[in-house]
Amino acid sequence: MTAETITAESSGTFPLGDLPVHRLGFGAMRLTGSAAFHLGVPSDRARSIAVLRRAVELGVNHIDTAAFYFSSLRSANELINTALSPYADDLVIAAKVGPYRDHRGEWGTSARPDELRGHVEENLRQLGRDHLDVVHLRRMGQDSIAEHFGALAELRRAGLVRHLGISAVEPRHLAEALEIAPVVAVQNRYGLDGPYPEGAELLRLCGERGIAFVPYYAVAGQGGERGASEVRQEEEVLAVARAHGVSPAQVRIAWTLHQGPHVLAIPGTGDPGHLEENIAAGTLRLTGEELARLDSARTRTA
Q: CB of 24 within 8 A of CB of 60?
A: yes
The pLDDT tens digits for 233-242 are 789 999 999 9
Query: In the predicted model, is pLDDT for residue 179 greater than 90?
Result: yes
The pLDDT tens digits for 78-96 are 999 999 999 999 999 999 9
List Cβ<8 Å contacts ≥24 apart for 201-205: 201/171, 202/169, 202/171, 202/174, 203/259, 203/260, 203/263, 205/171, 205/174
Residues paired with residue 132 on neighbouring β-strands, in sequence order? 161
Query: In the predicted model, is pLDDT for residue 281 greater than 80?
Result: yes
Give the pLDDT band (50/70/90) at residue 73.
confident
Q: CB of 1 within 8 A of CB of 283?
A: yes
Give the pLDDT band (50/70/90) at residue 71.
confident
Domains and CATH numbers, the chain: 16-225+259-283 (3.20.20.100)
pTM of the model: 0.92
- The values of phi and psi at residue 286, to 5°, are -85, 140
pLDDT, average across residues 142-164:
98
pLDDT, average across residues 47-76:
94
pLDDT, average across residues 163-181:
98
Residues paired with residue 172 on neighbouring β-strands, in sequence order? none
Active-site entry in 69, 100, 190, 216:
69
Which residues does 81 contact at the CB level (< 8 Å), separation at least 6? Answer: 126, 127, 128
Alpha-carbon gap, residue 156 to 238, rounded angstroms: 44
A 10 A CB-CB count for 124 gives 18
> Is 216 designated active site?
no
Amino acid 245: pLDDT: 97
